[in-house]
Amino acid sequence: MQPSSDPTSTRDVPVGWRTRAAPVVGRALAWLGPDFALLIVFLGILVGLILAYGASLVWNDGSIYISLAIGGGLLGVRFFYRWRSILVGAPDARAEYLRSARLILRDWGPLILILFAFESLRSYTGIIRPTSIDDALYALDLRVFGAEPSVWMGRFAHPALTEWFTLAYGCYFILPMTLATALTVRGRRDEFRELATVVLLQLSIGFLLFLVFPAGPPRYYQPLQGGGFDPAQLHSYSGLYELSTTALDAANPLTTRSSFPSLHCSLALVTLIYARRFGAAVFSRRPGLFFWLCLPLVVSLWLSTIYLRHHWVPDCVAGLALGTACAAITPWLMRRWPAARGARGTATSLRW
């Protein structure tokens, strides 16, 4: 029988090459891990958009500052914990610190970098679909509820309630980072990387949905700005709401294109799920305590998205669906991802 002339046929590919290629790819994927692999894809999209539309990089976002502060703080605390031994040159003290620093940077690096990429990528929303879907979201709210929920909740407006909801809304990133920090301190790297991966996956899918379904918050919807809201403006006793809203709009001026789905709702749901699973990292003697502390904050956060006029109800439903899907996909992905030899267990654990 003559060899196939089809250039895509594997008959003409040396068998030795085929047997060597799979292990090489597997080792590369194992070395990267799903978190770095997602980061590379995300950065590739950013580079492509920069080449096509010009650079639009964002550094001044609270989530970036928080993750940088935690990562740097962990390095500082780790040094302070062993500073005497390091400075006096105790055997293996410096090597141990450098090893710990590499592990911290490796674990937190993808999370920090993807937050930078995500905030930068948000400025490109509206490219694929320049017209927002706000009219459709507003019409859907009216069809389902008979009234716009963010307008209806205005009857409960009170400075104290606005204060509480503003605090709850601001916890969307603090809560998962609290759990992530505890996992690092406890040396539970596999669990930390699963938590980081689920966050990266949400941001990746969320950004793609921003591109396809650009939407803004109800508070910037023109038909409601002209007298639809009562009161027209929300107020808090301390001015926290006013300050946070101004800061939010300054950090994300493209408020009309990145609301669907609600990543606040998505991340809050994932926080609850992982607080239930990994809560012992925060309170080792009472594993369920962190979950119960998070629950009222998360429920308040979900309500705050409507009360504070930041999201339509379909945004929130889509965010909850996204969080549910990512929380289901990530453990499956972690189990099936190629594992590097010695990647699990005490060989790479971070002991404090």
298: Cβ–Cβ under 8 A, 6 or more apart, which residues?
A: 171, 175, 268, 269, 271, 272
Task: Examine residue 66 and state whether it is found in any structural domain, yes or no.
Answer: yes
Which residues contact residue 320 at a Cβ distance below 8 angstroms, ignoring those fewer than 6 apart? 265, 266, 269
- Whether residue 11 lies inside any domain: the answer is no
Query: In Å, how far are 50, 119, 207, 252, 324 from 45, measured between CA atoms?
Result: 9, 13, 11, 20, 25
Is position 12 within any domain? no
**Residue 10 placed within a domain:** no
Is residue 189 within 8 Å of 107, Cβ to Cβ? yes
The first and second tokens of residue 156, run together, are: 């409960």
Q: Is residue 326 part of a domain?
A: yes
* pLDDT recorded at residue 59: 59
Cβ atoms 279, 228 nearer than 8 A: no
Global pTM?
A: 0.82
Beta carbons of 74 and 104 less than 8 angstroms apart: yes
Q: Structural domain tally of the chain?
A: 1
Instruction: Report yes or no: 296 and 197 within 8 Å, Cβ to Cβ.
Output: no
What is the full per-residue pLDDT of the chain (352 aa) written as tens digits? 444 444 444 344 444 434 445 577 777 787 788 888 888 888 888 788 777 777 666 655 555 666 667 777 776 766 666 666 767 666 676 777 778 788 888 888 888 888 777 777 777 777 777 888 999 999 999 999 999 999 999 999 999 999 999 999 989 888 998 999 999 888 898 999 999 999 999 988 998 898 889 998 998 888 887 778 889 889 888 888 888 777 666 555 455 578 899 999 999 999 999 999 999 999 999 999 999 999 999 999 999 999 999 999 999 999 999 999 999 999 999 988 887 654 444 334 555 5
Residue 162 domain-assigned (yes or no): yes
Q: Do residues 26 and 18 touch, judged by C-beta distance below 8 A?
A: no
Domain presence at residue 258: yes
Rg (CA), the chain: 23
Three-state DSSP string of 97-112: HHHHHHHHHHHHHHHH
Query: Considering the domain boundaries, does residue 24 fall inside one?
Result: no
Domain extent for 210? 32-348
User: Tell me, what's the pLDDT at 244?
Assistant: 79
